[in-house]
Amino acid sequence: MKIAVLGLGVIGTTYAYAFQMAGCDTYHIVRPGKEVRSQIPVHLLDGRYDQKGEEKDGIYNVNLATENEEFDFILISVASGKLKDAMATIRERNLKGTVILFCNFWNERTDVEQIVGDYEYITAFPTAGGHMHKDGNLNCVLFDHIMLEGRDKAKIHNYDDLISLLDSADIKQEIPYDMFEWIWVHMAINAGVTSTAAREGKIDDPNRLARELMADSKALSMAVKCIRETLKTVSARGVDLKKYNNEIMPYKIPSGIAGIAMKKLFAGNELTSRIMTLHNDISDILYGCRCVYDEGKKRGLELPLFYRNMDNVFSGT
């Protein structure tokens, strides 16, 4: 298959690497004149074949897309709030293909449909992360699955081709009740975690904050309490949280027990702990927190712990 990826970001390049290793032709859509290396050294903690993850090194060959090309799929993974600009780039280059949205967004489905326009698209969510070093090397983590919109709600003509693409790279699919609602749940959970990690008001070093949080059962217990608050913003939007029990079950047990269990999880699961420490895009992290914060304020929800944490963060940024 022929796959295009917008930009050379961590998520897009990680999946492009997996697809290329599976025999697909991958291309990147970059700004004209941008200097791009022909090869990127990759260090991957690969969770597709071993639950503990396997450390692997490889080389990713970078190919550039030209204008007026047609692809099977165009993968867009952009920082939150930048989807409109991303789609403008696709249109300006006159690129064709089914769009895969690998993005956080607090938007309603109708908002995204308006932005995407006449392109067929499907919403998904990556379970990967990493960091692109200044020297151009990619250090990344890849889990064995992604979250994917179901066939009926996606309504794309090549759904089976997408499943074949993912299967070829040994990436399983989990289908939630609704991908948009699932993303909102995910963002609310992340907001609760982030606000707890940064509760002292400093968020300039996400890596350090993540490591400190994962090693502190009391702080993790506080994060659970905060997540219970942030999930109220999703419920207030009309989402039946019972349909996402798998995602929210860990936050229903007593917070003290949950904190201890989460500390043990992070200590014993390198995949989960490393992905926590590799996400360093502060603006993207804060975008999700701000969406949840503004939603709670708009609806007059009582989220005292979350608001206090975020007020400290906002005053310090």
Q: pLDDT, tens digit, for every residue of 104-126?
A: 889 999 999 999 999 999 999 99
Query: In CATH, what number does 181-316 get?
Result: 1.10.1040
* Range 123-136 average pLDDT: 89
- pLDDT averaged over every residue in the chain: 93
Of 10-19, 21-30, 104-113, minimum mean pLDDT range: 104-113
Q: Domain limits of the chain? A: 2-175, 181-316
* Range 190-212 average pLDDT: 89
CATH fold match for the domains 2-175 and 181-316? no
When the candidates are 3.40.50.720, 3.40.50.150, 2.120.10.80, 3.40.1400.10, the CATH number that belongs to 2-175 is 3.40.50.720
pLDDT above 80 (res 277): no
* Range 259-272 average pLDDT: 88
pLDDT of residue 316: 72
pLDDT level of residue 91 (50, 70, 90 thresholds)? very high
Q: For the chain, what percent of residues have pLDDT higher than 90?
A: 78
* Half-sphere exposure at residue 122, Cβ-oriented, CA atoms within 13 angstroms: 29
Q: Do 10 and 140 form a contact (C-beta atoms < 8 A)?
A: yes
User: What pTM did the predictor assign?
Assistant: 0.93
* Range 225-248 average pLDDT: 96
Out of 220-229, 265-274, 276-285, give the one with best mean pLDDT: 220-229
Mention every residue, 6+ apart, whose C-beta is less than 8 A from residue 3: 16, 19, 24, 25, 26, 27, 71, 72, 73, 74, 75, 165
Q: For the chain, what percent of residues have pLDDT higher than 70?
A: 98
pLDDT of residue 317: 61
